[in-house]
Structure 1
Amino acid sequence: MRMLVTRPEPDTQATMDRLAALDISAIGAPVMTRQTLEAHFPPIIGFAAMALTSTNALRALEDMDLLPQLLGLKVFAVGDRTAHEARLAGFGDVVSAEGTLDSLVTTIALARLEGPVLYPAGRHLSGDMARALAPHGLMVVTVPVYEMVAEERLPEAAREALAGGEIGGVLVYSRRTAEIFAALAATCLSDEQKRALPMLCLSENVAAPLLANHFSRVLLSDHPSEEAMMALALAFAREQTGS
């Protein structure tokens, strides 16, 4: 049983390490690379909180040396992992949502903030937080601070393993990752191989582009979190090996 991890670095290696601890062999095949953008931040004074939908935003803020002036803000994180990374970065007041943009919007709306929300985000957004929070009387200032750039080709080791039927499952964590993987894998997989390849996905939203591209063997985690993905990977590996 070998699995393919499609996350960007450094998350690829972190997930591979967790899989190794479960005695699951894995190959890294990041389909995107993070690039920090030249962002023009508004004055920090006046913001009631900051929203985070990815640890990549924290990494970009660190690259830009902006973290020190932001540490006084209350942070609303999309999930436990992002919340954990925010605390490690020095933020003292951190609230975690349930792993989706909808749950984050609900959490922020219920907080009844008295001021705008700063949202350092990626260039490619999966949802419009500003529009979602507007009916609640909250203004969101979205500042793109990073971009996830698609790779043009899967690593050769991953291509060979996929084509040779050596991959027992592919871990996919975002919708855009799914879209890019489907395009890149089309060059080394037949339609029959795509239909047979198990795709372990964080959510239905993540899985949608794969189903549209004829990857029909899709498994979903119980919750949009790394812990749930590891539980899914372990259960699937045990089922396949009979252990």
Structure 2
Amino acid sequence: MGEPLMRMLVTRPEPDAQSTLARLQALGIEAVAAPLMVRQTLDASLPAADGFTAMVLTSANAVRSLLDRGMIEDYRHLPVFAVGDQTALEATEAGFARVSSAAGAFQDLVNAMTIARVPGPIFYPTGKHQSADLAKALAPSGVMVATARVYEMVAVDALPEPVLSGLGDGSLGAVLAYSRRTAEIFAALTHALDPAQRSRLAMLCMSEAVAGPLLEARFNRISLADRPDEDAMMALALAFAREQTGP
């Protein structure tokens, strides 16, 4: 296939980081992974499945955590509304038979549920740190949401030294950021980079919301994916790499 186009840093948690590395490699882009968060399944009490009309998933991590706890079977009969295609795929692979994808971001999911006139109550397994409030978003529709925090994404304390060095000397030329919290953690862990290094580093972000903390931290070379999904992130990474090296 020829020489890799350039080196990039993948910051998303495992196992998603390995999937992204494989896709970048298939595009001829050399990359390394430094997950900035680690998933921990929480032992919170969960509501009985009886009485719920549907389940909402805004992350595949909720599916993984229900699997960890052996609770999938209890909820498998519920129709699932997933925020995106990857989350929908993991729900299907876990055995849910009726799965629909909003193929977008949180607001796309809320819009899809509003249009579908989904009645409540709805079961919403999610993470400890929520970027949006589903119960509040659906309140105008009169839909009751039972939120259960089934996992926590715990931030790492530091980036590996080789990664910090690569970001500093430019051998890692771009960073893929998939969530606002990841961007916040990255900004905090790279505070030692000087202004010139921050200006040189390309931040490839899944959405405008993800880019926000990076702009505040004085990273100004920021590009946004066309859509909040992995395919769009791969297209962004490839386009950026080609800009650096030529087609």
TM over 0.5: yes
AA of the residue aligned to 1:70: Y
Residue 46 in 1 paired to residue 51 in 2?
yes
How much does 1:137 deviate? 1.0
Q: Give the one of 6, 16, 20 matched to 2:21.
A: 16
> In percent, how many aligned pairs have the same letter?
57
Is residue 230 of structure 2 the alignment partner of residue 226 of structure 1?
Answer: yes
Question: Where does residue 114 of structure 1 map in the other structure?
Answer: 119
After TM superposition, list the pairs within 5 Å mapping 1:58-77 onto structure 2: 58-77=63-82
CA distance in 2, matches of 1:25, 1:32: 22
> How far apart are the structure 2 equivalents of 1:7 and 1:115?
33
**Which of 128, 135, 139 is the equivalent residue of 1:130?**
135
Structure 2 match to 1:237 = 241
* Structure 1 residue 196: Cα displacement: 1.6
Tell me the equivalent position of 1:205.
209
Q: Which residue pairs with 2:195 in the alignment?
A: 191
For 2:172, what is the secondary structure of its paired residue?
Answer: coil
Q: Structure 1 residue runs of 4+, over 3 Å off?
A: none
- Work out whether residues 120 and 145 of structure 2, in 8 Å CA contact, stay in contact via their aligned partners in 1: no
SS of residue in 1 equivalent to 2:158: coil
Displacement, 1:156? 2.0
Give the counterpart letter for 1:120 in structure 2.
P
Letter in 1 for 2:212: A
Aligned residues: 242
Cross-structure match for 1:147 = 152
2:167–2:173 CA contact under 8 A, matched in 1: no
Q: CA deviation at 1:29?
A: 0.8
The CA deviation at 1:192 is 1.2
> 1:129 offset after TM fit, Å?
0.6
CA distance in 2, matches of 1:96, 1:210: 29
Task: Return the letter of the residue paired with 1:117.
Answer: I
1:179 pairs with 2:179: no
In structure 2, runs of 5+ residues without a counterpart are 1-5
Matched, 1:81 2:82: no
Q: Distance in 2 between matches of 1:201 and 1:220?
A: 5
The whole-number CA distance in structure 1 between the counterparts of 2:114 and 2:99 is 15
Residue deviations 1:194-242, cap 9 Å, x none? 1221000000000000000000000000000000000100111111111
1:156 aligns with 2:140: no
* 2:8/2:174 contact within 8 Å kept: yes
Q: In structure 2, how many angstroms separate the alpha carbons of the residues matched to 1:83 and 1:157?
A: 35
- Structure 1-normalised TM-score? 0.98
Q: CA deviation at 1:113?
A: 2.3
- SS in structure 2 at match of 1:238: helix
- Partner secondary structure for residue 215 of structure 2: helix
Aligned to 1:104: 109
Structure 1 position 162, deviation (Å)? 1.0
- Mapped partners of 1:81, 1:146: distance in 2: 18
Q: CA deviation at 1:114?
A: 2.9
